[in-house]
Structure 1
């Protein structure tokens, strides 16, 4: 069994008053949320990590919850965006399902820290509960796509579509635990591997 890859240690804080933009502040906050947990990370810790005052940080984000909401939207917006692309809406259901799975892997690789944070959300706040509701809506749309593919005969019909969705995305989501962006496979190659393992078990012969 492959051992989970530990997240890189946080770099030392930069002192002084560097000119961080909102995306850099968000990335640093997400690093801390992942490393120490959202509940255990304070705005003061994020500010210290960047060498900023809290008031300088508040110029861009008015609260820790604001940081979390924007971070989760980075992940969810990417996944939801895949479903709105032409390849996910036009053509045979089996081809659309393949397209969405490829897109989900691409989003995971491109937004790895944000998706990692999303997958650790447990619904302990309004922001987290809203994110979980969006995740459920995404899963329901995938389940509908699996059901359509079963109806057209390109995906086997002896597996419950909601179970198939959970199993396939359980595999996709596990990528955050071991994938190395500096490794030999990029998003396209990784997606090929996922499709071979996932869809070949679902496709009709």
Structure 2
């Protein structure tokens, strides 16, 4: 005798739902492999919508259904483009971090620049990146630091590894500038980093693109404030 729980006719909508989700997952993987321009455009639109909603509502409060509604799609159709809300969050923040890390590596390789010039350049780059990639950069600062740190997924571990590596690169710029006599040596490098980049991180509370100052202008103003206090007597 077949028990109800083992009879496909008694499984209700759950079995059909799982089958449907599995089918959509297969179609999604196929579409991503083929690389249709329309598919890629819609996926990018979903990432932009997700970034905006993560900014406005917070990552935890934003549901995939909210993103679907803003995109004019039903939830099942959204699964054709993305597998989860975490996937959208990942794409929102990871690309920006990768670009900034690449910029820092290029500066390290450029031996024509002093270490203070390198520090200045990456500082400006980060603020301009914040403006150009807004609101994805807002989400990174507002959510990623604590949200990802508490997760145990492979991606969460990877993004935190990248974040720590980038932090060490920034510290290297400061230490090298101090070691070469380009910055004063009586203040610990970590305190210098907290002061300098803390100014940038706080801009998410008040800066939005299109305001009275550009990201470049804000970065240069902050740099001027910093360097007037940190410049060594020999290089001031």
Same fold (TM over 0.5): yes
CA drift of 1:88 comes to 6.7
3-state DSSP class of the match of 2:212? coil
Verify: 1:96 aligned to 2:118, yes or no.
yes
In 2: Cα distance, 1:179 partner to 1:88 partner: 31
Question: In angstroms, what is the RMSD of aligned CA positions?
Answer: 2.1
Verify: 1:59 aligned to 2:80, yes or no.
yes
Distance 1:147 1:80, change over 3 A: same
The residue correspondences of 1:36-185 to structure 2 (distance < 5 A) are: 36-86=57-107, 89-90=110-111, 91-119=113-141, 120-121=143-144, 122=146, 123-125=149-151, 126=153, 127-185=155-213
CA drift of 1:170 comes to 0.7
In 1: Cα distance, 2:229 partner to 2:81 partner: 47
Counterpart of 1:26? Answer: 47
Task: Indicate the structure (1 or 2) with the bigger Cα radius of gyration.
Answer: 2
In 2: Cα distance, 1:43 partner to 1:179 partner: 27
Moved more, 29-38 or 101-110: 29-38
The residue correspondences of 1:2-21 to structure 2 (distance < 5 A) are: 21=42
Distance 1:193 1:96, change over 3 A: same
In 2: Cα distance, 1:94 partner to 1:88 partner: 14
| Higher helix content, 1 or 2 | 2
3-state DSSP class of the match of 2:59? coil
Which runs of no fewer than 5 residues in structure 2 stay unpaired? 1-38
User: Would you identify which runs of 4 or more consecutive aligned residues in structure 1 move more than 4 Å?
Assistant: none
In 1: Cα distance, 2:55 partner to 2:216 partner: 26
Per-residue Cα deviation, 1:42-86 (whole angstroms, up to 9, x for no partner): 211110121102232222211111111111113212321220334
CA drift of 1:35 comes to 1.8
| Higher RCO (C-alpha under 8 Å, 6+ residues apart) | 1
Aligned residues of 1:72 and 1:117 also touching (Cα < 8 A): yes
Aligned residues of 2:115 and 2:174 also touching (Cα < 8 A): yes
